[in-house]
């Protein structure tokens, strides 16, 4: 099993400004990690792939 550090990715919609409100995601097989890009050492969520897909669907549809 590969124990290397996860590769966190920020949305291409975030821009280059480090003060912008962004999240980063990483594949933490079998889970997906979500964290605040401004606080990479802070807490982060671990979601199943289906929960992450549901979250993205709600975000894209504008559900609050």
5-37 pLDDT tens trace: 899 998 777 766 666 678 899 999 999 999 998
Q: What is the mean pLDDT of residues 26-55?
A: 94
Using pLDDT thresholds of 50, 70 and 90, give the confidence band for residue 1. very low
Spatial CB neighbours of 3, under 8 Å, sequence gap ≥ 6: none
62: in domain: yes
Q: Distance between CA 6 and CA 2 in Å, rounded?
A: 10
CB atoms inside a 10 Å sphere around CB 4: 5
Which domain, by its residues, includes 32?
26-36+44-64
How many domains would you assign to the chain?
A: 1
12: in domain: no
Task: Indicate the SS3 state at residue 64.
Answer: coil
**Whole-structure pTM over 0.95, yes or no?**
no
Q: What are residue 9's phi and psi, to 5 degrees?
A: -125, 135
């Amino acid at each position: 099993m590969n124990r290397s550090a996860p590769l966190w990715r920020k949305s291409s919609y975030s821009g280059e400004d480090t003060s912008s409100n962004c999240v980063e995601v990483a594949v933490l097989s079998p889970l997906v990690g979500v964290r605040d890009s401004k606080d990479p050492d802070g807490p982060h969520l671990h979601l199943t792939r289906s929960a992450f897909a549901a979250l993205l669907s709600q975000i894209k549809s504008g559900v609050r």
